[in-house]
Amino acid sequence: MNKPLRRVAIFCGLLVLALLIRTNWVQYVQSEELNSDKNNKRVLIERYAHERGNIIVGGKPITGSVATEDKFYKYKRTYIDGPMWAPVTGYASQAYDANQLEKLEDGILTGNDDRLFFDRTMSMFTGDQKKGGNVVTTLNADAQKAAFKGLGSKKGAVAAIDPQTGKILALASTPSYDPSSFAGYSAKDEKNWLALEKDKDKPKLNRALRETYPPGSTFKVVTAAAALENGVVTDINAATDTPEPYLIPLSRTPMVNHAPGCEKASLNEALRVSCNSVFANMGDKVGRDKMVEMAQKFGFNNPEVDTPVRASASVYNKTMDRGGNALSSIGQFDTATTPLQMAMVTAAIANDGKLMKPYMVDQLSAPNLDVLQKTEPEEMSRPISEKNAQLLQEMMENVVQNGTGKNARIDGVTIGGKTGTAQHGVGNSKRPYAWFISYAKTDQGSPVAVAVVVEDSAGTSRDDISGGGLAAPIAKDVMEAVLSKK
């Protein structure tokens, strides 16, 4: 071979080598990036080329698929009781992608997950249509219905957990939306999507996981836990040294109480009637750093609480002064929390001090129902000792039997709870939030802990807004729904 031909051959060989390297780079190194690229329509078309697997509650699907006449998207997602289950399922839309479980478990639902390789291979030989797997949730259908019905036209959210396992039993948010209304690719779907985007009430917002609120007096159980764990209080029935009026530290401003008899009230009595002064005093005595430590043991300031849908981080300020800490100790100032977080606090108390990691996917299964993955209960932390947890239970049960939580009573069942009315807005000018946290207890332990927040209730005057009046009846219905299954 002469010299010019050899040079051409070497050059062509280098071109082939470069092509091979580039091809392998695209196929293997960049595959994930290209698959997830929002401009890659093939991924979206593949998602709807066949029926998706289903999201399951109580053995029954709450999702489905229906054939369309679209030349690109053969199937469209459907939902059963869509608005009720939207905080759990999220949406899967031909035009607007997907979110929540529909997005996180897309590989299983489409059948593209590597764990379904055998099923895909077998379908090639048998000629069967490709099928997606299923996502089996931990949700209790009756509890979800009770939560959604209880919220009704109110703006708010409910989170319910099994304290012994961490299973999420209910996750409701109102106002809600129907994911079926924009599951397709038509002009009508676009109109429905744009209407939801413009809605000032934010129906697509998952308030149970993604909205934070001042917890108000429900946070006093965390302050009580910190006081007990740090030895500030050793006898819940002994008088405290709280004066009346109690001045907020570093100021001349008196703490306002909405109940009589708070001067030197015991911790038990202070929780029963919800004395702001006693808990502000206890929070100040515990100190900011120990209060932060206790809040974080319960899950505050943790940006990675995945259910597997990630919840927004609840906040307890790490840098505030003594006055801010005193106000935060009664659930005001900068303290902000999701309903899920307050359900976690309640669940840990009900479970004798052990906080289990919350989760709502029980298992992932193949189209033939073989289990691909099962979630096992996992301990998250132990915020308080068993002894102090039981003291807190005694106090919370006193609230329901003799205090502000009487609307949550259930005949023949031990109920513990705490009401809260959280002020917010400049100068507390906005309508307060109504809170209630509670648990039910049986001979086998506690099967359910609930947190309810009512953000707004049309037709209710400001003076009538209270956790005991608006939120406690909803919590009661959810607990009864769970107990009826036991």
Percent of the chain with pLDDT over 90: 75
pLDDT value, residue 428? 57
**Residue 155: which of 453, 466, 469 has the closest Cα?**
453
71 band by pLDDT with thresholds 50, 70 and 90: confident
What integer is the mean pLDDT of 248-262? Answer: 93
20 vs 375, residue with greater confidence: 375
Examine residue 342 and state whether it is found in any structural domain, yes or no. yes
What is the pLDDT, as a whole number, of residue 291?
A: 98
Question: What was the pLDDT predicted at 459?
Answer: 60
What is the structure's pLDDT at 467? 82
pLDDT of residue 50: 85
Q: Does 207 score more than 80 pLDDT?
A: yes
Which DSSP string do the residues of 300-365 spell out, in sequence order? TT-TT-BSSSBPPPPB--SS--HHHHHHHTTT-TT-BB-HHHHHHHHHHHHTTTPEEPPB-EEEEE
Smallest Cα–Cα separation from 466: which of 437, 435, 442? 435
Higher pLDDT, 124 or 28: 28
Q: Would you say 451 and 340 are in contact if contact means Cβ atoms under 8 Å apart?
A: yes
The pLDDT value given to residue 11: 80
Place of tokens 């840098």: 319
- Whether 135 is in a domain gets the answer no
What is the spatial distance between Cα 98 and Cα 110, in angstroms, rounded to a whole number?
A: 12
Tokens 């932390």 belong to 381
350 phi, psi to nearest 5 deg: -65, -25
Please return the burial class of 89, using the count of CB atoms within 10 Å of its CB with bins 0-12, 13-18 and 19+: buried
Percent of the chain's residues with pLDDT above 70: 90
Range of 395's domain?
213-361+377-485
What's the pLDDT at 253?
Answer: 94
Q: Is residue 232 a part of any domain in this protein?
A: yes
Lowest-pLDDT range of 278-282, 315-319, 355-359, 462-466: 462-466
pLDDT above 60 for 461: no
Q: What is the 3-state secondary structure (H, E, C) of 45-102?
A: HHHCCCCCCCEEECCEECEEEEECCCCCCCEEEEECCHHHHHHHHCCEECCCEECHHH
Residue 341: inside a domain:
yes
pLDDT of residue 328: 97
Domains in the chain, number: 1
pLDDT 10s digits, 88-97: 999 999 999 9
pLDDT at 14: 80
Pick the residue with more confidence: 32 or 258?
A: 258
Asked if the model's pLDDT at residue 22 lies above 90, the reply is no
- From 65, 176, 181, 217, the catalytic residue: 217
Reference 450, options 171, 235, 129; nearest CA is 171
Q: Taking Cα atoms as reference points, which of 193, 467, 445 lies closest to residue 339?
A: 467
Q: Would you place residue 449 in the very low, low, confident or very high pLDDT band (cuts 50, 70, 90)?
A: very high
Q: Tell me the mean pLDDT in the region 419-430.
A: 70
Question: Has residue 252 been placed in a domain?
Answer: yes
CA torsion sign for 254, 259, 262, 268 is: negative
Q: Residue range 391-418: average pLDDT? A: 96
Task: Provide the pLDDT for residue 131.
Answer: 80
Is 385 among the catalytic positions?
no
**Residue 246 pLDDT more than 80?**
yes
* 315 within 8 A of 335, measured Cβ to Cβ: yes
Residue 402 has pLDDT above 70, yes or no: yes
Measured torsion, CA atoms of residues 227, 230, 236, 242, in degrees rounded to the nearest 10: -50
Q: Provide mean pLDDT across the span 154-165.
A: 97
Distance of CA 402 to the CA centre of its chain: 30
Q: Specify if 85 maps to a domain.
A: no
- Domain containing residue 433: CATH number: 3.40.710.10
Region 369-385 average pLDDT: 95
- Write down the mean pLDDT value for the chain: 91
Q: Is residue 339 part of a domain?
A: yes
The arithmetic mean of pLDDT across residues 123-136, rounded, is: 74
Residue 352: what pLDDT?
97
Residue 190 within a domain: no
Instruction: Assess whether pLDDT exceeds 80 at residue 40.
Output: no
Q: Band the pLDDT of 29: cuts 50, 70, 90.
A: low
